[in-house]
Amino acid sequence: MDYRTLPGTDLAVSTLCLGTMTFGEQNSEAEGHAQLDLAFDAGINFIDTAEMYPVPARAETQGSTERIVGSWLRRQERSRIVLATKVSGPNRGMDWMRGGPQFTKEQIHAACDDSLSRLQTDYIDLYQLHWPARHVPMFGQTYFDPANEYTDAPALADTLAALGELVRAGKVRHIGVSNETPWGVMECKRLARELGVPVINTIQNVYNLINRGFELGLAEVCHRENVMLLVYSPLAFGLLSGKYVTNPHADGRMTRFANFGVRYLKPYVNEAVAAYSALAQEYDLTPAQLALGWVKSRWFVGSTIIGATSIEQLQENLSVCDIALPDELLAAIEAIHRRCPSPAH
């Protein structure tokens, strides 16, 4: 396992990170602990979760993922684990959480305290804003429209100041964003410098073979502003594992939860997935190995968040540590991309 230091920090994180959002919905506590044990034994020291998990978000299960991670974490040497979690933003229909999440000082402090309690720890290594409090195209949306702007969101400066208070209190070591845009990254950096509060160190955004939107602006911004990309959905909700190519009704989030994967139901997605799956077969790789190996090879990727619902899936994902894609395969991937560019973006 390789490790990279998050910019501006002393946190060396594994280049694979274990995502946990199935814990408490598709995976039991025992299954979650088994995945954590396997990942840790393989060299993964980086764990990502969120207060709203598991998904899909429901009042009955909210917080279960953090509780499962916490019951495992209490048996570990805390200093060996880099723990990331997220505070939920507004306007996602979760009125059952704090009357509707907002990035106010009061809500951010309350959310952090609740996460610390569920995780059974006294500090969070990386605390992330799960999505912006302003309107941005995300989760399958493509275009920005100012007509959809939110009118009741707190000022970003106030949100960053509240996060800074958590850092000063020792509850949070470093902060990051998720589902952000180039403007958002730049504005977070500008305001932090202006206010004298901690700067963001990471961005957690979707990036995979069928959604390469990060390359269009964010790659340069993050490079110049010293922000590391943490990739989520590298397998596109399991599509890039190839399982739906052979069985469109295979069990998974795309078939189990109605309307959950609309971002991957766009035209030409299936065509691109089938092409990448066939290419993987040519090189004696599984489609998942091809997709994860490609993400891992990108110069701007700091860590790739992998998730699974079975030990067998997790073992396959972990095998990418030993795989380096040859130049001719990378060129073949680019050829498919040129024919069918980012169909899920």
Q: Tell me the per-residue pLDDT of 61-81, one tens digit each, with 9 for 90 and over.
A: 999 999 999 999 999 999 999
Q: Which fold would CATH assign to domain 3-238+296-323?
A: TIM Barrel (3.20.20)
Q: For residue 65, how far is the Cα from the chain centroid?
A: 14
pLDDT band at 249 (very low <50, low <70, confident <90, very high): low
With a threshold of 0.85, does the pTM exceed it?
yes
Residue 53 annotated as catalytic: yes
Amino acid 38: pLDDT: 98
Helix, strand, or coil (residue 206): strand
Q: Tell me the per-residue pLDDT of 74-103, one tens digit each, with 9 for 90 and over.
A: 999 999 999 999 999 998 789 999 999 999
- From the candidates 53, 232, 244, 264, give the one annotated as an active-site residue: 53
Which helix (H) or strand (E) segment is 331 a member of?
Answer: helix 327-339
The mean pLDDT of 316-344, rounded to a whole number, is: 95
